[in-house]
């Protein structure tokens, strides 16, 4: 556990002019990107990571976290004004946000979304700060065999919960294992799958690969969708002369306090479970709130409880999904996996040792997260009306600009054309993975976790001297492996019954 001086020092590090400016910039970028249909939060994160290459570690991580937080707020703007969520997590917000906007209260609906989003995010961050260090302490007591079993459980849960098929999820994760094996074998020190190319000795560049899989593939998908069907939705105009649409009073917010608290609890629990994601949290919270209401028929007609249930829940995931990342080194969703790549770029390895070796940095990050929530509130208050204009941005401008930023980011991080080739190759691969129902989430998390899994697996084999029955002497590992088997038995058939396509961002 970090001592008091480390905690205070870390929190103080967050309060510098440079960090504050980058936090505000990150929040603004996230809100703008979330407000533009066709641009996704993951695209913003994938493009932004290379831009932080020269920044101080805390500044870079604070900026990326702020982009993530801002995007959850910005995604509600098109959901409310044109009934088209800017990000998948805001889909449930549209159910009551858009009807409220059609009733002449678009600004009121956006303010509801902003306030409840900040509440859920801030509350979730407090939970993260409170429990992450004790959980990391528990994780430190786990040996290589237990950690290997835990990672196997994480893979089975993630592949079982994302996508439309557990088999395809496992295949995608296995493909991630394969690509992560490119480079130098950590056990033998010999090259693997390098085909004589020196550029591959350090493995595939994670940032260029992430940009291709998440940003470029999404650009390809959006262009293909645009050529098939053009949206005719007209944004609802935000008028400043409407006396009923000035804002939200404190009494109106407090009227839904129990809904928001329950939504925060749902979002925090779901965020701490790898593989579920914020879209699941938003819809589950909305469904529970509607079922518990005395007048469920009012939902879908502009009820503020629907906005509170969705926004408080999906924003609570932002902080909660860092719990497994910081304590165990296991990302809960793609956004967390991208943050892993940012950590690695800056020489920081997520996991239980993080609090012991980089305690000051982590508490500096916690301080930046708390500051980002208040900046999210302030920037949203000022910019909400401005961001609503971003909805009208033409695709002919959005997609070429995004592709240019992707290319620049891939070039900068790899120092040459090799990164651009990797980006384009994985962009095409990501597009076809989405088209055929293979989980990009499972692939990226499989790729990110493979080095640590391989390391712990080698250590486990050395400890057991190759005898698999040694696991019987480790009851925690046995329980985790049993849970892995149960998750396959339970989640596999459930996925076969549900053939809905995988959400792009979660």
pLDDT the model gives residue 2: 67
pLDDT the model gives residue 499: 47
- For residues 119, 124, 125, 126, the Cα torsion angle rounded to the nearest 10 degrees is 90
Within 10 A of 6 (CB to CB), how many other CB atoms are there? 18
Phi, psi of 293 (to 5 degrees): -75, 145
Within 10 A of 269 (CB to CB), how many other CB atoms are there? 17
- What's 116's DSSP letter? H
Q: What is the pLDDT of residues 325-334, one digit of tens each?
A: 888 777 767 7
pLDDT the model gives residue 25: 94
Cα 237 to its chain centre, rounded Å, is: 31
pLDDT the model gives residue 23: 94
Intervals of the chain under pLDDT 50: 228-232, 498-505
Cα 431 to its chain centre, rounded Å, is: 19
Task: Identify the sign of the CA torsion 292, 293, 297, 303.
Answer: negative
Write down the H helix ranges in 162-249: 166-180, 206-210, 217-228
pLDDT the model gives residue 400: 83
pLDDT the model gives residue 5: 82
CA–CA distance from 13 to each of 7, 257, 367, 433, 482 (Å)?
A: 10, 33, 8, 42, 43
Phi, psi of 91 (to 5 degrees): -60, -40
CA–CA distance from 351 to each of 136, 326, 409, 412 (Å)?
A: 8, 5, 27, 28
- CA separation for the pair 246, 408 (Å, rounded): 42
């Amino acid at each position: 556990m970090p001592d008091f001086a480390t905690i205070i020092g870390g929190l103080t590090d967050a309060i510098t002019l440079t960090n504050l400016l980058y936090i505000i910039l990150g929040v603004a970028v996230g809100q703008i990107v979330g407000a533009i249909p066709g641009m996704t939060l993951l695209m913003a994160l994938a493009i932004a990571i290379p831009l932080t290459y020269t920044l101080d570690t805390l500044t870079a991580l604070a900026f990326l976290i702020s982009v993530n937080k801002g995007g959850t707020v910005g995604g509600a703007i098109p959901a409310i004004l044109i009934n088209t969520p800017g990000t998948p997590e805001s889909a449930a917000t549209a159910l009551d946000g858009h009807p409220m906007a059609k009733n002449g209260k678009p600004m009121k609906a956006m303010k509801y979304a902003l306030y409840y989003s900040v509440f859920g995010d801030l509350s979730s961050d407090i939970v993260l700060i409170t429990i992450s260090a004790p959980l990391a302490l528990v994780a430190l007591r786990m040996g290589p065999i237990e950690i290997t079993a835990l990672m196997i459980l994480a893979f089975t849960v993630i592949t079982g919960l994302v996508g439309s098929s557990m088999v395809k999820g496992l295949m995608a994760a296995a493909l991630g294992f394969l690509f992560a094996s490119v480079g130098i074998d950590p056990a033998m020190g010999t090259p693997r799958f390098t085909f004589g190319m020196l550029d591959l000795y350090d493995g595939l560049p994670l940032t260029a690969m992430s940009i291709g899989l998440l940003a470029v593939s999404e650009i390809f998908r959006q262009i293909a969708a645009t050529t098939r069907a053009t949206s005719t939705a007209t944004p609802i105009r935000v008028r400043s002369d409407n006396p009923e649409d000035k804002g939200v009073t404190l009494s109106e917010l407090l009227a839904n306090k129990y809904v928001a608290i329950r939504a925060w609890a749902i979002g925090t629990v779901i965020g701490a479970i790898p593989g579920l994601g914020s879209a699941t949290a938003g819809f589950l919270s909305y469904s529970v709130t509607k079922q518990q209401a005395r007048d469920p028929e009012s939902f879908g007609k502009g009820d503020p409880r629907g906005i509170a249930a969705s926004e408080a829940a999906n924003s609570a995931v932002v902080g909660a999904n860092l719990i497994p990342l910081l304590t165990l080194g296991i990302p809960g969703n793609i956004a967390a996996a991208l943050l892993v790549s940012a950590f690695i770029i800056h020489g920081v390895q997520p996991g239980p040792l993080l609090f012991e070796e980089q305690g000051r940095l982590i508490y500096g990050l916690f301080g930046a997260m708390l500051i980002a929530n208040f900046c999210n509130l302030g920037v949203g208050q000022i910019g909400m009306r401005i961001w609503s204009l971003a909805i009208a941005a033409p695709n002919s401008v959005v997609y070429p600009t995004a592709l240019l930023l992707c290319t620049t980011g891939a070039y900068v991080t790899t120092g040459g054309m090799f990164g651009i080739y990797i980006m384009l190759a994985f962009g095409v691969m990501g597009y076809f993975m989405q088209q055929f129902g293979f989980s990009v989430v499972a692939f990226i998390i499989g790729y990110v976790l493979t080095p640590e899994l391989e390391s712990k697996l080698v250590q486990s084999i050395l400890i057991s001297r190759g005898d698999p029955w040694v696991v019987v002497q480790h009851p925690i590992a046995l329980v985790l492996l049993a849970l892995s088997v149960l998750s396959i038995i339970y989640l596999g058939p459930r996925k076969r019954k549900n053939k809905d396509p995988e959400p792009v961002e979660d």
